[in-house]
Structure 1
Amino acid sequence: MAPNHNSSLSLLIFLMTALTVFNPLTVTAFPSPPTTSPPFPSPPSPPPSRKSSPAPHPPPPPPSPPATRATAQQLNNIVDALIGSGDFGSWVNIITSANPLSLPLSATIFMPQNDAVGITDPLLFPYHVVPQRLTFADLQLFKTQSRLPTLLPGKSILITNNSRSNFTVDNSPITQPDVYVTTTIAVHGVAGILEYSVYGDELDLMPKQQQQQQSPAPPSPPGPGLFLPAGVTIPGLKSGATRPCLGVQFPIGLMVACAVLVFRNQRNYIW
């Protein structure tokens, strides 16, 4: 029985020791080694976002070409100046009804006064417009007999006197120089209407005069062999001209005499 008792005691001690060692209240927790999870592929990084570029601006419109024609406002200013002067009312309606596109941007206009003859020819107005701005000081730089081109094709204004006190164009005095002047337009008042049919032709530097009646052409001399009685002359035949041959009358007389003789001989033979 003794050996069994010792064995039981040894077993009891072993169990108590084992319980003491493995008692959860006294067991020292040792840090478990970090578990490394298997590496997972990282999600693909998003592509770098492109900054949205601003929409391209439309190209600026090309610069408008410089104006080459007068504007309606310029015509209105001219009308106001003419009305203010009080001497050119007859041309106000013409300027008002004019098409701005028919006038160049730079121009000189000669305006007849109210006492001038009324305008009935549509070509008169373009003849009074020079496609270049010329102030009165500019006009004085031209010599007499110089010509100014106009809007009427083939016609030009003649400077007939360039003196300051009596400056005339087409023999019409400039009564009110520089009635209206801007950087592009100059308007001058003249005493009368400028006649393109009188002064407009470039080759005629002076007014046209009435043509002399043409004398009738002298009659042509008679043809050779024409018989003229003695003392008879042909009007217009020069004294030194060769006279027609008068000897043609002799052969004719001889033939007549021969015929008479033949007739008489035949008559005597019959009898």
Structure 2
Amino acid sequence: MATRSPPPSSPSQSQRSQPPPTPPVSEPPPPPSTLTPPQQLNNIIDALIGAGDFGNWVNIISGTNPLVLPLSATLFIPQDDAIDHLINADPFMFPYHVIPQRLSFSDLQLFKSNTRLPTLLPGKSILITNNSKTNFTVDDSRVFQPDLYITATVAVHGVEEVLDYAVYGDGLDLLPKLNFSQQPQLVRPPPGPLMPEDEEPSDTSVAPPCIGVDFPAVFLVGCALVGFKIPR
């Protein structure tokens, strides 16, 4: 006579009430917008070192107070050949190469030639001298490595020459004001007033278009002067 195997034992009440174990979940990396200014500056330095043509500017940034860099910014970085001839580093050189607004290369191409971009150096702005895609220049310096480093808040572009605020930097007093309480956005120059066809303009001089920001630039330049170290 065949024997029957005992039925499988049912789980106890305590075993039925326990949920299955949850597998561990790794924390995702923080988005670029949450990076602190020192972290953002270190990432920019790593990108410049990786590009291999901006070692002199790495020395300048390394001696700069990280608080000088705003949360949203665009940096124009000259190549080494453009800085080799500079014996004494200008403490105003770094803030003049920084725009307190993130502008990718595609954003820059939306602006017409003779548009002015405000910088961290009070009263000085960068001039777009050519807006063509193949020969885009600011202060007559060609952008030869666009979007060298780019995140949601910061854009870095490599330029061939040092930007000269003594030659190109004037004209910031013509800029309109922006409200920076919201996310910075690309700003177009406002159109000029319409004039009747039979009326001659009283003044034929035309000021170049520009964009502007309401930004504590004096404080930022003060930080730059305190934290700036001249490479030896």
Tell me if both proteins adopt one fold, taking TM over 0.5 as the criterion. yes
1:129 matched to 2:98? The reply is yes
Listed one character per residue, the Cα deviations across residues 141-170 of structure 1 (whole Å, up to 9, x for unaligned) are: 001000000000000000000000000000
Listed one character per residue, the Cα deviations across residues 45-101 of structure 1 (whole Å, up to 9, x for unaligned) are: xxxxxxxxxxxxxxxxxxxxxx99952111111000000000101000111121111
Hey, what does 1:180 align to over in structure 2? 149
Q: Does the 8 Å CA contact 2:37/2:70 hold for their aligned counterparts? A: no
Hey, what does 2:74 align to over in structure 1? 108
Hey, what does 1:75 align to over in structure 2? 41
Q: Which amino acid aligns with 1:120?
A: A
Q: Which amino acid aligns with 1:93?
A: N
1:159 matched to 2:125? The reply is no
* CA RMSD between the two structures: 2.0
Hey, what does 2:50 align to over in structure 1? 84
TM-score of the pair, normalised by structure 2: 0.57
CA distance in 2, matches of 1:179, 1:69: 18
Q: 1:107 to 1:70 in 2, by over 3 A?
A: farther
Q: Which one of 171, 177, 193 corresponds to residue 162 of structure 2?
A: 193
Q: Does the 8 Å CA contact 2:96/2:125 hold for their aligned counterparts? A: yes
Greater RCO, CA 8 A, separation 6+: 2
CA distance in 2, matches of 1:162, 1:69: 31
How far did 1:102 drift?
Answer: 1.1
Q: Which amino acid aligns with 2:64?
A: A
Q: 1:70 to 1:195 in 2, by over 3 A?
A: farther
CA distance in 2, matches of 1:123, 1:85: 24
Unaligned stretches of 5+ in structure 2? 1-32, 175-206, 209-232
1:1-271 alignment to 2 at 5 Å?
A: 70-117=36-83, 118=86, 120-202=89-171
CA distance in 1, matches of 2:78, 2:36: 21
Q: Which amino acid aligns with 1:133?
A: R
Listed one character per residue, the Cα deviations across residues 194-235 of structure 1 (whole Å, up to 9, x for unaligned) are: 000000001897xxxxxxxxxxxxxxxxxxxxxxxxxxxxxx
Q: Does the 8 Å CA contact 1:172/1:191 hold for their aligned counterparts? A: yes
Identity within the alignment, % = 68
Structure 1 stretches of 4+ with a deviation exceeding 6 A read none
SS of the residue corresponding to residue 81 of structure 2 reads: coil
Which structure has the larger Rg over C-alpha atoms? 1
